Amino acid sequence: MQRYNISMRHMLFGFGGVDMMRRVCKSCGTLLGAENETSICDACIEKDVREYTIVKEYIVSHRGASMADIYLQTKIPPSTIRRFISDKRIELVL
C-alpha cells in the first residue's frame, strides 16, 4: 500500500507559496505582487527613473564629468551610478 504525505514545503508555504516568497524586489526586498512582471517594485522603478534623470541631466550639461563630480553635484550614490554604467545607460568617455 502506498502512503502519501504532503511535502514539508507545502506545509510551510501552501500551494504556490514557495514561488511567492522568492518574488521580492531585487532592490529593496519588498514583496512583489503576483501581477508584477519585473524583478523590482514600482517604488524602486520610480526612484531609479528619477535618479537616472538627475544623473543624465548633469552629464548632458557637464560632459566628461567624473564619478566624484556626479556624486558631489547630484548626491546620487556611486553604486547607483555604477549600475547605470553597467546597464549601458551611461557611457564612459575616456
Task: Kindly list the residues in this chain that would bind Zn ion in the complex (CB under 5 A).
Answer: 25, 27-28, 30, 41, 44
Question: Measured from the CB atom, is 25 or 59 closer to Zn ion?
Answer: 25
Q: Could you tell me the maximum CA-CA distance found in the chain, to the nearest angstrom?
A: 77
Work out how close the CB of 61 gets to Zn ion at its nearest, in angstroms, rounded to a whole number: 29
Least distance (Å) from Zn ion to the CB of residue 42?
Answer: 8
Specify the residue, 50 or 62, whose C-beta has the smaller distance to Zn ion.
Answer: 50
Q: What are phi and psi of 8, to 5 degrees?
A: -55, -40
Question: Which candidate, 57, 30, 49, places its Cα nearest to that of 41?
Answer: 30
